[in-house]
Structure 1
Amino acid sequence: MPDQSGVIQTDLLVVGAGVNGAGIAADAAGRGLSVVLCDQADIGGATSSSSTKLIHGGLRYLETWQFKLVHESLEEREVLLRAAPHIIWPMRFRLPHHKQLRPAWMIRIGLFLYDHLARRVTLPGSRSISFSGDGPLRSDYRRGFEYSDCWVDDSRLVILNALQAASNGAQVLPRHRCVNLTAQQKGKQGRWLAELLNERSGEVTKVSARCVVNAAGPWVTRVLTQSGTDNRAVRLVKGSHIVVPRMHPGEEAFLLQNADGRVVFVIPYEDDYTLIGTTEEDYAGDPADAKISSQEIEYLCDVVNQYFKRNISPADVVHTYAGVRPLVEEESDKAAGKSASKVSRDYSFQLDRREAPLLTVYGGKITTYRHLAESALRQLREIFPDMGEPWTRTANLPGGDFTDQASLLSVLQQEHPALPAQQIAAWVKRYGTSTRKLLDGVNGVADLGRQFGPGLYAREVDYLIAKEWAMTADDILWRRTKLGIRFTQEQVLDLEGYMARDT
């Protein structure tokens, strides 16, 4: 709450509401710290909503000997699957064997390690498989391998962590850009005075914090510059994806090897589509402006066409997105001339106390965000000796307090027999048990209000505005839901007009 001068007093100011920042805010608030979480744009609006949408160990990281990262990721895979079964679910991946690339024995060893580097509870192990001639792959590929990982709705994962933070008292401020950081008192017991500019209204909110966490992702060095803190070398890497009409009818995904040593995922997406990615190339410029290039589109199409009977071209692409991830580049990486795909995805911290306590987060991947948050709070234990103990490992994310989607869907259908089963199933995948909050007082389709496009009613729009900080049509169509891929421009404009009614 603001003091008499209008300044918000808080223990922790987290700058950046991507998955790492939201995860740290949720963990800290649950330990009894007062927290303010801010972002210059939407929650999860940048890198964290532009991933390949996987909770995975990172099979290819074994080639670069990143066993610690893979072990940690595999452990977290089981933790997150249990914490959020509405937005995370198991998926089988098929890896066609390309005789001219990695030998079969190498892949078998890699999959053996993948199965055993961490304890598996729910996911089946890997196996060798054969491909039939009537499958989606070209006849060149007769044998391969199959293993398990998980799909995740990445942007909703971020939003659920922000909701978890808010439920424990955190103040969440999307579209509030940190424009200034000044040390009020210097040293170990110092405080920061931050100025947060509301990008919509132009108003400035002042926050006085005992500690600042810089989780600004690709903008991490900008926050360090504001604070007068030394920067570490950060390498910005752009990853781009394309979406095409469904490539094959099965529910399994494919992992395709390429001659340049990289791999490309081909993943079922939103029932009728296939998600293909990612590229990796160095990036310079404002991360907010990142877009896929025509060369990247051609690259992804070419890799897929090496394997699938059905060829695709840029003309088949119905949607694209690109995100920029900040990777920590060590001097040894520079000296070795490592490509973007070889730089580690692991995370690290820098705690600086010369002005006032400032913890900067570098790197990380979406799978390890919860473990990263725990590690960040461990770094801050000396500053906040009275904070609570770790708690997120056994906690459900909002809406995740159920066992499996099929059982929850069955119960909700019985509670709302007048609503279309397909629509309830879509809500279960977004909100889990929180679907009941969305449908409170709803008896039939008429109670859902106006329909703006496929699967989106006024009831859900109002819910997302009131409960999940949605402010624009893009917030709803591409981050709170993935319905944007089905909306026409006219329907988008209609939704924008409805959301602007009170502004």
Structure 2
Amino acid sequence: MSAATDLFVIGGGINGTGIARDAAGRGLSVRLAEQGDLAGATSSASTKLYHGGLRYLEFLELRLVRESLREREVLLRAMPHIAWPMRFVLPLDPRMRFAGQTPVSRLLSLAMPWARGHRPNLVIRAGLFLYDNLGARKILPGTTSLDLRHAPEGEPLQDRLTRAYEYSDCWVDDARLVVLNARDAAARGADIIVGSKVTEARRDGTGWMVRLADGRSFRARVLVNAAGPWVGQVIQEVAHLPSTEGVRLVRGSHIVTRRLFDHDKAYFLQGPDGRIVFAIPYEGDFTLIGTTDMDHDGAPDQAVCTPEEVDYLCRFVSGYFRQAVTPADVVWTFSGVRPLYDDGASSATAATRDYVLSLDQAGPPCLHVFGGKITTYRRLAEAAMAKLAPHLPGAGSPWTAGAPLPGGDFPVDGAAALADGLRRDHPFLTQGWADRLVRAYGTEAAQVLDGARTAADLGRDFGATLTESELRWMMEREWARDAKGVLWRRSKLGLRMSPEQAAEVEDYIASRRVAA
């Protein structure tokens, strides 16, 4: 058995890897165990946005919105390769309604009874004013008005929609964000264990004894339960701790279609049922549409986008676009389970998106992480370390706010220049190939190419610009274990590959694992 570490983190999603990175950077010894793949569940099934949460203003979650808005630009500077600003078009539709009884809707029903649950334009503009000014915005432009009758953003929309607001938020490659946090944690000394489930954790004297499914055991002074949808299961079945706190599993499903519009802006669409759905440019040739909010009763890893959810999302966006979207247009679906803190809300939509950190101190400490969102993962990690500080007297001070993730050490607007440099040094690259590499690896893209002067120097060509050199990089430096992890998490090349090509990737990975 190895020497005790300061922290043992259960869970390789964004919260677990974010905490591991923060702790390792403070000089603490850290070990993290993930039962499957990094970002294998919730953290790779988001809407690919980090944003302030415009809708959360209706629930008066001002602290969460303010923290999220302030984090947008911190994260932009830290990861300009996997994230970038995006403008959102919010068409004004007389059918827009509140999502049930929210604090704002109740206030308006008293002040403006004639509104009858509708979102008046004045209220939307007031919300956008708050959105522009709550978060010390410096990089992102503010809200503007659009006349859809004379703007390219109006061309895909139905004629009845004549006005819109346009505001700023940000796009992010969620799974790569997790992988890069794990890589940085490992570079700072953390031990990242992927593909081995924690089966038991028990207090033992002054620390914790943690056992994995592969038979290994480890000791740690502090346990962090960042198991996402499995957080309750870890409390009850792994650590056997008494707790009255619970998690509400909410399924969010998405569909991907061929590109529905030609510009690079997203749409923020409001339905007659009060729900919000985004239509977002995705991977160049596609449009991402989502999400739903449904209470989920099954196992977290069995979440799928149901036919009913596909129909719902198609009907929703068809109410806005000239060209109807049907299930036949869908090329991919994905679904994830959000582990929201169970605050007793009446509906999945109304349940809080804020995170809750619960510290069990009835012996060696155990921190349970409930909820959270991609936008605030870094702040959540800082808050977790602040809670654990009395138990980790040797820990350093907060440091992540100004530190780029691997490959992110270039200016926010520098991706195009990086791609140009790649093409100069590697003339065989097409523009699209170079852009993709920069958007995945940033300044490390040149290392992925490993000095290649021709495409043949990169080894086997699996299709869709995935080469043996890049695949080895994912396996050796990013803990990739199977084709799904490569093609649908660390990249989205599965959208462009045939089943036969995907099988070749799977066979290659399996052969390399056997050889190792």
Q: TM-score range by the shorter chain?
A: over 0.9
Residue equivalent to 1:194: 210
Is 1:167 matched with 2:167? no
Which AA in structure 2 matches 1:169?
A: G
SS in 2 for 1:106: helix
Contact 1:7-1:205 at 8 Å conserved across structures: no
Equivalent residue for 2:340, pick from 327, 332, 337 = 327
Mapped to 2, the partners of 1:491 and 1:100 lie a distance apart of: 46
Is 1:48 matched with 2:43? yes
Is 1:208 matched with 2:229? no
Query: Percent of aligned positions with the same letter in both sequences?
Result: 49
Is 1:420 matched with 2:425? no
Which AA in structure 2 matches 1:173?
A: I
Mapped to 2, the partners of 1:219 and 1:245 lie a distance apart of: 34
Is 1:33 matched with 2:28? yes
Residue equivalent to 1:283: 296
TM-score by length of 2: 0.92
Which AA in structure 1 matches 2:258?
A: P
Residue equivalent to 2:458: 448
Residue equivalent to 2:242: 230
Is 1:476 matched with 2:486? yes
Query: Residues 75 and 34 from structure 1, CA distance in 2 versus in 1: closer, same or farther, beyond 3 angstroms?
Result: same
Mapped to 2, the partners of 1:494 and 1:100 lie a distance apart of: 49
Which AA in structure 1 matches 2:320?
A: Y
Which AA in structure 2 matches 1:97?
A: L
Residue equivalent to 2:174: 154
Is 1:384 matched with 2:392? yes
Mapping of residues 3-402 of structure 1, within 5 Å: 6-101=1-96, 102-132=119-149, 135-185=155-205, 190-197=206-213, 203-225=214-236, 226-231=238-243, 232-331=245-344, 333=345, 338-402=346-410
What do residues 415-457 of structure 1 show as CA deviations (whole Å, max 9, x unaligned)? 2223323211110000000112112231111111111121211
What is the CA-CA distance between 1:485 and the residue it aligns to? 1.0
TM-score by length of 1: 0.95
Mapped to 2, the partners of 1:443 and 1:453 lie a distance apart of: 19
Contact 2:179-2:478 at 8 Å conserved across structures: yes
Residue equivalent to 1:491: 501
Mapped to 2, the partners of 1:94 and 1:170 lie a distance apart of: 42
Which AA in structure 2 matches 1:34?
A: S
Mapping of residues 406-417 of structure 1, within 5 Å: 406-417=416-427
SS in 2 for 1:176: coil
What do residues 69-104 of structure 1 show as CA deviations (whole Å, max 9, x unaligned)? 000000110000000000000110000101132211
What do residues 140-181 of structure 1 show as CA deviations (whole Å, max 9, x unaligned)? 100010000000000000000000100000000111100001
Mapped to 2, the partners of 1:417 and 1:293 lie a distance apart of: 45
What is the CA-CA distance between 1:9 and the residue it aligns to? 2.2
Q: CA RMSD in A?
A: 1.1
- Structure 1, 96-105 or 465-474: larger mean CA deviation: 96-105
Mapped to 2, the partners of 1:107 and 1:37 lie a distance apart of: 43
Contact 2:343-2:352 at 8 Å conserved across structures: no
What is the CA-CA distance between 1:386 and the residue it aligns to? 1.5
Unaligned runs of 5+ in 1: 1-5, 198-202
Which AA in structure 2 matches 1:413?
A: R
Mapped to 2, the partners of 1:129 and 1:471 lie a distance apart of: 47
What is the CA-CA distance between 1:8 and the residue it aligns to? 4.9
Contact 1:8-1:206 at 8 Å conserved across structures: no
Mapped to 2, the partners of 1:23 and 1:450 lie a distance apart of: 34
What do residues 368-402 of structure 1 show as CA deviations (whole Å, max 9, x unaligned)? 00000000000010001111100000000000000
Contact 2:95-2:271 at 8 Å conserved across structures: no
What do residues 177-207 of structure 1 show as CA deviations (whole Å, max 9, x unaligned)? 000012111xxxx21111112xxxxx32211
Which AA in structure 2 matches 1:46?
A: A
Contact 1:236-1:325 at 8 Å conserved across structures: yes
Residue equivalent to 1:3: none
Which AA in structure 1 matches 2:126?
A: I
- Structure 1, 439-448 or 307-316: larger mean CA deviation: 439-448
What do residues 10-64 of structure 1 show as CA deviations (whole Å, max 9, x unaligned)? 1100000100000000000000000001111100110000000001000000011
Mapped to 1, the partners of 2:132 and 2:38 lie a distance apart of: 34
How many residue pairs align between the two structures? 484
Mapped to 2, the partners of 1:319 and 1:419 lie a distance apart of: 28
- Structure 1, 244-253 or 438-447: larger mean CA deviation: 438-447
Which AA in structure 2 matches 1:356?
A: P
Contact 1:472-1:499 at 8 Å conserved across structures: yes
Mapped to 2, the partners of 1:421 and 1:306 lie a distance apart of: 36
Contact 1:213-1:360 at 8 Å conserved across structures: yes
SS in 2 for 1:93: strand
Mapped to 2, the partners of 1:227 and 1:279 lie a distance apart of: 32
What do residues 457-477 of structure 1 show as CA deviations (whole Å, max 9, x unaligned)? 111011111111111011110
SS in 2 for 1:381: helix
Which AA in structure 1 matches 2:340?
A: L
Mapped to 2, the partners of 1:411 and 1:217 lie a distance apart of: 40
SS in 1 for 2:8: strand
SS in 2 for 1:321: strand
What is the CA-CA distance between 1:7 and the residue it aligns to? 3.6
Contact 1:138-1:309 at 8 Å conserved across structures: yes
Which AA in structure 2 matches 1:254?
A: Y
Contact 2:232-2:246 at 8 Å conserved across structures: no
